[in-house]
Chain A
């Protein structure tokens, strides 16, 4: 007994900071957030219990649905395209090529550039009048009698533009795929060569199953990240929460942020945050269910 108390004291001694941190910076905020989501709360006054009213209002809030739709649109395109792009880059770099470190650095660097700076840069590239992208596209599209869109100024093209920009940042998942590819046992390819399998069959039957845990991880993390995209939309709306043009980039996190810190509807924002949390948990659960069937952990 005395020994276990001494052990407890040592254990808590080392983890004391975390016990405090967990309580103050995570556990309390999580619990408070649940409570606020049932309250009318503006930070300036104390929270007032209003039951499920926030959730009911959200159900009828057109902008909430707009934000959800925008976010899902962004996720549905950016996550699969990002996965294909990053896996393709990793497959390329996994070949025996000269200058691999240079290309790896080149593909990786955009993913660690501060989001504020890269948003600023892409805002300039997408500029409808003087942008580099339209300079390249104008002569190409004119061959078939079309004009390039004005991207971030056009409600129909602002989200595709943000998806394109997100593809520039796939370097991080590329590195994870690359590590996964390098862990695929060489013997498997060798025996496939003996069996006379072509590159496509080898990719489909060896590479893909072997890296399926990595794909699972990357796609799940990518989706969770895409549901919370904020900075790009904030900068490209000119540092506001209005999701311009015409609310086309009003993403979930942007709307939540605006409700909480511009409108001071903290309770409303907390309800939104909890809906997001439930979505993420459900998604993770679904992905885990799905992965039990299709992801191969035993190598």
Chain B
């Protein structure tokens, strides 16, 4: 049935508008991650990360554009320092300048005349370690060479600093401060390893245990099965806050607080939703297959392992995928049970990074956030079909 052109126009118009709206936060995330810090706090914002170069003291160096001059002025040397003084406060004939309206005139040597519209520029340095010794000048716009430059090094610096060190320490502009305590050697790679351990061990456990349990519910008849299954479904209603406090007690008794164990071991003991999901799938496999295997002398275990599991790859993939995603994204669990930096997962490390060393600047925070988000996006693109099928058939996410 052909649609009128206007309807098509409206549909595509809406799709593109909404698509842009949904994509914008991602674009802003990556653009911010690629900017030098001073370009993150400009209003109106700088959209595309840029680099500026200018000649300072005879050398071409990278500079930051600090501010634009609103009136003609001079640069003078007075009291051993260089100053910018407006023309009204500079007496050319007497070679004196007042550094502030009420200050007495000082002897000043004229270095350079500058105009309204010129830029004050400062030699650029990451971090604050060298702030005092940076070269600066005032130059016309035309003397500044601007070009687009994404700062990929922000990602390296975010990775280097998320473990607890400051940019200055990483770049060696200050000597290492020994203020981080026993955990000072923790790095991004520890967080990544912890996260992957929790994800992989938990996923393997979730797939194996839930398949095993669901088989017991779906393919075997035994007294008490239906009651136990009803209880199982009932537990899905229990919100996590109810379990949170006593679970903490359980893990404390087991001596698991401060380790990764509470984050992946429970996955090896099944979860109501995954049992339900797998049971529904197993029930669609014809009983004849099991009967035939039984006649051939297979044990239930062999039927499970050799007949049912190979036929159940789609549902196994869905459970694996959603568990992995859930474990990667989980924040509350790690926040509750991980007490030492060395055991942090990426999610808590990222949260911790926010307030680290008196507040992490936005470009590094966005770079670190990108690093945590990108694996999820890659996972989606490589397993898109499983994802969509999983949500559509289960109506749930991990």
User: A30 contacts B32, CB within 8 Å?
Assistant: no
User: B250 contacts A24, CB within 8 Å?
Assistant: yes
Complex CA distance for A257 and B242, rounded to whole angstroms: 11
User: B397 contacts A111, CB within 8 Å?
Assistant: yes
- CB-nearest residue of chain B relative to A182? B392
Known: A4-B223, A114-B373, A175-B392. Is A18-B245 also a contact (CB below 8 A)? no
Interface size on A, residues (CB 8 A): 94
Complex CA distance for A30 and B348, rounded to whole angstroms: 27
- Check A65 for interface membership: any CB of B closer than 8 A: no
- CB-nearest residue of chain A relative to B390? A175
- Check A281 for interface membership: any CB of B closer than 8 A: yes
User: A168 contacts B246, CB within 8 Å?
Assistant: no
- Please choose the segment from A54-62, A73-81, A228-236, A289-297 that sits at the chain B interface, where 4 or more of its residues have CB less than 8 A away: A228-236
Complex CA distance for A103 and B15, rounded to whole angstroms: 7
- Check A141 for interface membership: any CB of B closer than 8 A: no
Complex CA distance for A193 and B44, rounded to whole angstroms: 52
User: B350 contacts A116, CB within 8 Å?
Assistant: yes
Please, which residues of chain B bring their CB within 8 A of the CB of A132?
24, 28, 45
Known: A20-B269, A114-B373, A276-B241. Is A172-B232 also a contact (CB below 8 A)? no
User: A14 contacts B351, CB within 8 Å?
Assistant: no
User: A14 contacts B304, CB within 8 Å?
Assistant: yes
- Check B22 for interface membership: any CB of A closer than 8 A: yes
Encode A219-259 as 1/0 by CB contact (under 8 A) with B: 00100100110110011001100000000000001001100
Please, which residues of chain B bring their CB within 8 A of the CB of A28?
246, 250
Complex CA distance for A101 and B351, rounded to whole angstroms: 33
User: A14 contacts B380, CB within 8 Å?
Assistant: no
Complex CA distance for A230 and B396, rounded to whole angstroms: 19
User: A7 contacts B42, CB within 8 Å?
Assistant: no
A1-52 contacts to B, CB under 8 A, are 4, 7-8, 10-15, 17-22, 24-30, 32-33, 36, 43
Known: A224-B239, A235-B351, A273-B244. Is A18-B270 also a contact (CB below 8 A)? yes
- Check B198 for interface membership: any CB of A closer than 8 A: no
- Contacts from B to A (Cβ < 8 Å): 1, 3, 11-12, 14-15, 18-19, 22-26, 28-29, 32, 40-45, 209, 212-213, 215-217, 220-225, 228, 231-232, 235, 237-250, 252, 266, 268-272, 275, 300, 304, 325, 328-329, 331-332, 335-336, 346-348, 350-352, 354-355, 362, 365-366, 369, 372-373, 376-377, 380-381, 384, 387-388, 391-393, 395-397
- Contacts from A to B (Cβ < 8 Å): 4, 7-8, 10-15, 17-22, 24-30, 32-33, 36, 43, 89, 92-93, 95-97, 101, 103-118, 120-122, 124-125, 129-130, 132, 135, 168, 172, 175-176, 178-179, 193, 214, 217-218, 221, 224, 227-228, 230-231, 234-235, 238-239, 253, 256-257, 260-261, 266, 269-270, 272-274, 276-277, 280-281, 284
Known pairs A8-B224, A11-B222. 16 more at Cβ < 8 A?
A: A25-B269, A29-B246, A92-B14, A97-B15, A109-B380, A116-B347, A116-B351, A117-B369, A120-B365, A168-B22, A175-B388, A176-B395, A179-B391, A253-B241, A257-B244, A277-B238
